[in-house]
Structure 1
């Protein structure tokens, strides 16, 4: 008869297994179960094919969160389908520098949306697998267009993905018109070739090339004589320049010589003016002395006085003339050489 299993032992094994599972989750999950999360949502207008739950959320190439849910919404009033994608952002994956703010991570994200233009876009992870992720980026100057702006979740406006823009461009591209225009162009080319115009055009082009070749040959033959004539002309100009230079140097030397002689003459005249002025002043002093001597004779007979008066008048005139001469010589010292003008 077999022995009945002990329930206490079985319970101990179960508790130990659960403990090992919790420890493994904490170790290999890096504490993801207890990290802080900020719920966010973005309403994508186009297709989200390739995006799956668990896909990464990146900002500037750094993973800061993951996708938690993908839904499909329809508004009967507008008849518009939208795809709300919910995801979470981990604040502890971003290191904040500087002074800490009193705002919560959700409030900081809402301010980034309204003030800095935070948007979400679908970007391809791999062209081979076709997987997509959500990329957050700042678009300054672009006003946010929020659909619901819920209070418990941070809504981030979306930017059209690259594949959606390419799809729209391809849809707007009228391929039928392009094919028709290409067919008409080919038909016109075929008609041009079959009409013989192309052959005549080629013949005309060949004739033009032959004439150009002849013209180039003529120019080539004329280049060497022209170069020789230019060399001769340049030599003539060089000879003329040398002759002009040879004539200019003596003239310059003569000008310098004349300038030196004029300077010497001016110095000599200056040296002669000072003694002449001194002699003139001495003569004036003697004339004044003679006049004082004559003045002492005014007490004699009336005839002598009359003659003395006449003499004094003439002496005064002579004194004024000498004084005028002295003043003129001081103002015009070169008058002794050139004479009065």
Structure 2
């Protein structure tokens, strides 16, 4: 009888423990069960390899929520992007990522409209979503961070539909930026004519080598050495004159230059004042020169004029 009583007590104890655990789990998770997560969405124009449903969403290292859905954009908006339409052709390469985040990360007891305005303000200040990677493991997550709104790294996607959830624009990941830069550099390198450059460089080196071989290098070296020696001697002479100009019995070069400048100014004024007379004198000199030239010509023809003889008679 006592054995049955012990079994009964043990059974009751186990049932009570499980009941307490169940009530505790229900109470602790009541908030999560009654509070719907806030849904965000973004459109990514690159590979989302490594990103999966359940991947974390971080804002500067703070975990906000998880990824809820990953699909192509036309799949999420089939009525807006029907197959074959211009919208489908334009947006079919974009990946739609929907995220579920905890409302408490934005504002306590705030409704959807208030949270919407808060996020819109952050987006206006440069808040963007991008894919990031955890080290070299290849595991991806969504990271929210700010960009320089005045100098955006790329052109923003212009959407023509009303998003179903709160929309935050996406920007390229660091991996995408690196790969695009490498591809751009390789494309630029492919356009360079390395063979032509090498041929031109070879021709230039050959021409330079021939020019050096043909040049009279020893004579040029000797001329340069002589020029340097002359410059050194001239420098010593000038420095000696300057040293003498500083001594009491030496030549005062600055004073001499000043006196020469005064003399030149006086001469210039004198020439300007006597310009008319100088012009008359020059005219007389030209006339006298002409007369002398004429007289010389006559002497060449009639040498007897020197001794006062008459000129020869002209035969009729």
Shorter-chain TM band = 0.5 to 0.7
Equivalent residue for 1:164? Answer: 176
Shift of 1:158: 1.5
How many Å apart are 1:148 and its aligned residue?
A: 4.2
8 Å CA contact 1:123, 1:135 repeated in 2: no
Alpha-carbon distance, 1:18 to partner: 4.8
- 1:109 pairs with 2:119: yes
Q: Which whole-Å CA distance do the structure 2 matches of 1:101 and 1:34 have between them?
A: 14
In 2, are the aligned partners of 1:57 and 1:89 still within 8 Å (CA)? no
Query: What corresponds to 2:162 in structure 1?
Result: 149
After TM superposition, the score normalised by the length of structure 2 is 0.52
Q: Aligned-pair distance for 1:140?
A: 3.6
1:37-76 to structure 2, matched below 5 A, reads: 37-52=37-52, 53-58=54-59, 61-63=60-62, 65-73=64-72, 75=74, 76=83
Corresponding position of 2:300: none
Greater shift in the superposed pair: 223-232 or 158-167: 158-167
Q: Quick one: distance in 2 between partners of 1:10 and 1:44?
A: 52
Cα offset, 1:73, TM superposition: 1.2
Q: Does 1:222 align with 2:234?
A: yes
SS at 1:49 equivalent: coil
- Structure 1 residues 33 and 213, CA, compared in 2 at 3 Å: closer, same or farther? farther
Structure 1 position 15 matched with structure 2 position 19: yes
The answer for unaligned runs of 5 or more in structure 1 is 242-341
In the alignment, the residues of structure 2 paired with residue 175 and residue 148 of structure 1 have an alpha-carbon distance, to the nearest angstrom, of: 36
8 Å Cα contact 1:38-1:106 kept in structure 2: no
Residue 198 of structure 1 and its aligned partner are, at CA, apart by 3.7
The SS at the match of 1:134 is strand
Tell which deviates more after alignment, 34-43 or 72-81. Answer: 34-43
Residue 271 of structure 2 is matched in structure 1 by none
Query: Helix, strand or coil for the counterpart of 1:159?
Result: coil
The 1:176–1:63 alpha-carbon spacing in structure 2 relative to 1, beyond 3 Å, is: closer
Aligned in 2, Cα 1:182/1:144: closer, same or farther, shift over 3 Å? Answer: closer
Q: Bigger relative contact order, structure 1 or 2, given CA contacts below 8 A and separation 6+?
A: 2
Out of 71, 86, 90, the position equivalent to 2:98 is 86
Change (3 A) 1:146 1:206: farther
CA separation of 1:94/1:40 partners in 2, compared to 1, >3 Å: closer, same or farther?
closer
- Structure 2 alignment gaps of length 5 or more: 75-82, 257-316
Partner of 2:193: helix, strand, or coil?
A: helix
**Equivalent runs, 1:225-240 vs 2, <5 Å:** 225-235=237-247, 236-237=251-252
Change (3 A) 1:51 1:226: farther
TM-score (norm 1): 0.49
